[in-house]
Amino acid sequence: MIMKKKQIRTLGVAALAILASAGFAHAQFEVNNRGMRGYSVGKITQAWPKVLKGGLPPDVVVLIVGTNDMINSEYLTPLDSFRDQYETLVDTLQKSAKHVVLGTLPPCVEEHLFRRHKRELYKGESPNDRIQKANTIIREIAKQKGCTLVDLDSVFAPGTWEEGNSQGLMTTIAASGRPDGVHPNAAGARKIGEAVAERIKSLGLSGGTITCLGDSITYGGGLPGEGTTEGETYPAVVRKILNGS
C-alpha cells in the first residue's frame, strides 16, 4: 500500500498512529555530528556560533565533552575552571536549543593513556579520578539547569571497558587491537548511542533536529563513518534508532 502525502495529511491523529505502527508514516529526526577532535569545553564554546551559522537552531543539543579537559596533558583544566566553563557552555546552548542533554564522561585505560602523555604531568592524580570529579560537576549542573542527563557510568560499568576484555567497550589491545584506551570502540559507541537515544525519547518529541556536540568521542575517531551520522559513530546509532532504521 502506497499513500501520497496529501492523503496522509487528511487523516486524523488516530489513523496516523495506526499508519505509523504499520510503517507507512513515522517521525523523522535530523541528526548532526558536530564532534571536534581534541577540543576542550572552552574551545567548544568558542566554536558554537560557527556551528549555528547558516542554519536554524537545533531542537536538541546532546553535549558530551570534558575528556580533554580532564586527561589530555595539553589542558588538564583545574576543576573550578572546568565547572565555570562548562556552566557557561550550557547557558550558551540553552539560549539556542529547546532541549539540552548532558552526558557524563567515559573512563580511560590509564596504562594506555600514559603511552602518549607523561605520567608526571598529572602530579600523582589518577586520570580516572579526574574524570569522576568532572562527572560529579556535570551531574550537578544538569540538575541545576534542568537538563536531561545521560549518565554513562551505567554504560561503562566496571568490567566492561578495561584492558584484557575482548568484548570491552574501549579501544584496547584485547578488544580492538590498539592500545588507545581513551576512545570507545564500535561496541562502546553503540552503547552510548543507545543510551542517548533513550533519553531523547523521554523528551516526547515527534521529530526535529538533533546536534551531537563534543570532542573525539562524538566525532567517532577511528570508527567507520567518523565525523558523520553514518557508520558506527554514536550519532549514527542515535539517528538509526530514532528513525527506526
Domain boundaries along the sequence of the chain: 26-242
C-alpha–C-alpha distance, residues 101 and 62, integer Å = 5
How many Å apart are CA 99 and CA 135, to the nearest integer? 20
Q: What is the block-wise mean pLDDT of the chain (245 residues), using blocks of 10 residues?
A: 38 42 63 98 97 90 98 98 98 97 98 97 97 98 98 96 97 97 98 98 96 98 97 98 93
In the CATH scheme, what is the homologous superfamily, with its name and number, of domain 26-242?
SGNH hydrolase (3.40.50.1110)
- Estimate the share of the chain in helix, then strand, then coil, as percent rounded to the nearest 5: 45, 10, 45
Neighbours of 245 (CB within 10 A): 7
Q: Where are the alpha helices (DSSP H) in the chain?
A: 5-9, 13-22, 41-52, 67-71, 79-94, 110-116, 127-145, 173-176, 186-201, 216-219, 234-242
Residue 244: alpha-carbon gap to chain centroid: 19
